Amino acid sequence: MKNIIIKPTKLLVLLMFFLSVPLTATGPRVSSNILSLEKNEVFALDLPPFISTEADKNGALSEIVNAVFAEEKIENSISIIPLQSMIKYYLTQDTTLAVMGRHLGISKEDNKSLMEIPLYLSNEYYLYYKPLHAKNLEFNGKLSNLKGLRYGASSGEETAAYENAQIKVENGRTLSLFKKLKKGTVDFISMPTQSAQWILKKNFAHESKDFVMMQGGSGSVFISIYFNLKHPEGKTLAGSFKKGLQSIVTNGKYASILEKHLKNPDDVKLQLEQINKFLK
Amino acid sequence: MKRFQTICFYVMAVFISSALGAEYTPEKVGLSSERLKNIDTFIDQYIDEKKIKGAVVLIARKGKIAYFKASGDADIGKPMKKDSIMRIMSMSKPITSVAIMQLYEQGKFLLSDPVSKYIPEFKNQKVFTPLPEGSGFAYKLVPLKREVTIRDLLAHTSGLMYIGIAAGVYPNEAGRKDMIEMYKEAEINDGYCRTDEEIGDMVKRLARLPLMKQPGEQWEYALNTDVLGYLVEVVSGMKFDKYVTENIFKPLQMNDTYFNVPKEKTARVARVFKSDWKGSLIRTTDDEVLTQGELVMCPNDGYKTSGTYLSGGGGVLSTVYDYFRFSQMLLNGGKLDGTRVLSRKTVELMTATNHIGEHTPGLLHDEGWKFGLGFAIQKDRGHNVDAGDVGAFEWAGLYSTRFSVDPKEDKITIFMSQTTPFDHHFELWDKLLVLSGSAIED
């Protein structure tokens, strides 16, 4: 057996190596630089099942946005936020690359420095809580039929039409609007069908039948990503995003993600029509 | 045969009396019976003056109960009993902290781990920074200097808040009002009223709001322990109530401790009374919601026999005797009646006084105290709040419950009433600790 003899100089080098190792090798160290993804952060407003930390891959639209960025080989992260007021804050920051969601409260002034890229056309319906309304609420396409009632609007939603129809408006977060319906502090709300189904299943499973959808859709709203043109790379990255979106629509990824999450082939067909119209 | 039966009878008698928390002659554990009697008079005076409706007090030394007495009423026409069940509110926090430390001992995580490693919603947090009036926006959100760690949650240095803590308690209050509005808008619940959601739902929303302070920069009593309760669920894969039942309550034979009291025991739950400390004592009604500033409490949620909102910061109901068993386990270095719940080294870590650096846990305590991993610890004796010894550790609950463990004197003091508001409680508690300490005779 060969004797292992280490010369003093080598020993010193080895010793210095071992002395330096424990500084970094005794366990995870918490610092913002190794854990935070601050590059190309998109701030998104919670809206299950489209955008939600509760949903697989953070929801259908989060997965689509990540797929588009990946297609263009752009690193990104999505921070999902529960409050519209925080999205409003990020809209005012030059350092924000993009925000996404529904009813973000974007003013005409804000809009001048944003580039909107629609991701999904949400067809919405009015809902009310049947046990508190012995007489069914009827919309039938006319807001005047709901005069005198109280509408639960999403924070950031444009509500002039309701006020003009003498309908009182109260704001709230998506889930809290359902709670307000049940409590009777609002009479009706407007919600994407998929969001209503998700929330009722998760939070009101035993009484989901008490939440009734009115006849006639309440309208269509785009759920979009808005690039901030004041951001140094906002315009360029918005262009890349649009190109990437075109690619994943063409290669079928957009449709397959929607199908996986929403399980509604008719809706996917409708969305493809809409997105192709936009991309033309 | 007869002799065998007699022996069996005595063995059973000893077992039963031990199970019910047999009391020992105080002198046998170095306490004065005569001096402990002063506690009877002391508590009765508060009851006679209608400051509290009733109370249960327990003092134990050297592992033995030397004083255990129920006084007054648990409700109108219903005497307080030693086994009355109380809402222990924030005395839930040490239980949750023990649960977390058990998982720590199993190597599930390090205390230095970022919380985001287990609850991803904590990633990319920002810190609220108020801007001067006239700025375009009322605040700005700045990146973290470092992420919130599990140790921050245990020691209350995360930068999270409680909505209900009165203004003026903490320094650098600027922006607190805006932050409270954000918490409310996001339907963050301090945990004193049960909601129909799960604790994880609230925690995930909370994590995506800004922090009030940079992690580690301020000691602030906050929703940290509710986050820890959810962390127990994430790491153990068990619902929080099931975890603590299987790993703490059952091994310690805390047979009357629950998040949701079973139906057959709800009659034992003491009623919360509102006291102005001047002789007006009003029974809370079944659906009463108490408010004090931003603090919102639903005391009679405590009668609910089911619920999903398992608040690690304030959701537990227990008895004085059960909490004595929990406290004795801590005093014994993690073990009770041969059952080890924590290691001695972990209890030493939890009761170490250097977790919060230069900060002071200025809510129940003040200068001379530090906060460990789940409770406050007395560091020196040169200040106003004195528990009788350096190294004594304690915490309290919002409906006037409190416990103190004095390792040096091998002594435990527990007081429980169900009285609100909490503000008046300090004088009673401080005096009770004086009576408890001055009964030491060896």
Q: What is the CATH number for B73?
A: 3.40.710.10
Mean pLDDT of B155-168: 89
Question: Taking a C-beta distance cutoff of 8 angstroms, is the pair A49, A195 a contact?
Answer: yes
Higher pLDDT, B169 or B71: B71
Q: How many domains does chain B have?
A: 2
Note the pTM of the prediction, 2 decimals. Answer: 0.86
At B434 the pLDDT is: 96
| Residues 158 through 197 of chain B touching chain A, CB cutoff 8 Å | 182, 185-187, 196-197
Report if residue B166 sits inside a domain.
yes
pLDDT per residue over B201-242, tens digit each?
A: 999 999 999 999 999 999 999 999 999 999 999 999 999 999
Q: What is the side-by-side strand order in the sheet with B411-416?
A: B78-79, B64-75, B54-61, B411-416, B401-406, B393-397, B376-378, B369-371
B117 in the same domain as B30:
no
At A216 the pLDDT is: 84
Q: Mean pLDDT highest for which of A89-93, B363-367, B369-373?
A: B369-373
B111 in the same domain as B176:
yes
- Give the span between the Cα atoms of B193 and B290, in whole angstroms: 10
B403 in the same domain as B264:
yes
For B172, the domain range is 96-238
Q: What percent of chain B has pLDDT over 90?
A: 80
Task: Check CB contact of B139 with chain A, cutoff 8 Å.
Answer: yes
Out of B198, B217, B238, a domain closes at B238
Mean pLDDT of B47-58: 97
B217 in the same domain as B107:
yes
In chain B, which residues have their Cβ closer than 8 Å to the Cβ of A35?
Answer: 114, 116, 123, 147
* Pairing verdict, β A188-192 and A150-154: parallel
For A37-121+222-279, give the CATH class: alpha beta
At A249 the pLDDT is: 97
Which of 3.40.630.30, 3.40.190.10, 3.20.20.150, 3.40.50.300 is the CATH number of A123-220? Answer: 3.40.190.10
Mean pLDDT of B390-416: 97
Question: Taking a C-beta distance cutoff of 8 angstroms, is the pair B138, B131 a contact?
Answer: yes
- CB-nearest to A41 from B121, B124, B147 is B124
B248 in the same domain as B216:
no
Task: Check CB contact of A83 with chain B, cutoff 8 Å.
Answer: yes
B173 in the same domain as B144:
yes
At B309 the pLDDT is: 92
B350 in the same domain as B407:
yes
Decide if A54 and B204 are in contact by the 8 Å CB cutoff: yes
Decide if B186 and A38 are in contact by the 8 Å CB cutoff: no
B161 in the same domain as B75:
no
B223 in the same domain as B86:
no
* Whole-number average pLDDT of chain B: 92
Token pair listed for B297: 């409490």
- Complex ipTM tops 0.90: no
Question: Where is average pLDDT lowest: A30-44, A234-248, B368-382, B410-424?
Answer: A30-44
Q: Mean pLDDT highest for which of A93-97, B140-144, B173-177?
A: B140-144
Decide if B143 and A36 are in contact by the 8 Å CB cutoff: yes
B104 in the same domain as B29:
no
Query: In this structure, how many other beta carbons lie within 10 angstroms of the beta carbon of residue A105?
Result: 17
Query: In this structure, how many other beta carbons lie within 10 angstroms of the beta carbon of residue A111?
Result: 12
B270 in the same domain as B221:
no
Residues of chain A with pLDDT under 70: 1-38
Peptide bond into A82 cis (omega under 30): no
Task: Check CB contact of A82 with chain B, cutoff 8 Å.
Answer: yes
B125 in the same domain as B73:
no
At B42 the pLDDT is: 97
Out of B216, B238, B260, a domain closes at B238
**B131: pLDDT strictly greater than 50:** yes
So where are chain A's domains? 37-121+222-279, 123-220
- CA nearest to B145 within chain A: A32
At B417 the pLDDT is: 97
AA letter at A60: A
Out of B212, B238, B264, a domain closes at B238
AA letter at A101: G
What is the CA angle B225-B230-B231, rounded to 5? 90
Report if residue B19 sits inside a domain.
no
At A98 the pLDDT is: 96
Q: Do A37-121+222-279 and A123-220 have matching folds? A: yes
- Give the span between the Cα atoms of B36 and B440, in whole angstroms: 9
Task: Check CB contact of B143 with chain A, cutoff 8 Å.
Answer: yes
CB-based contacts of B359, cutoff 8 Å, min separation 6:
B157, B218, B219, B371
- Sorting pLDDT into bands at 50, 70 and 90, what band is B23? confident
Task: Check CB contact of B110 with chain A, cutoff 8 Å.
Answer: yes
CA-closest candidate to residue A258, choices A274, A271, A244, A245: A271
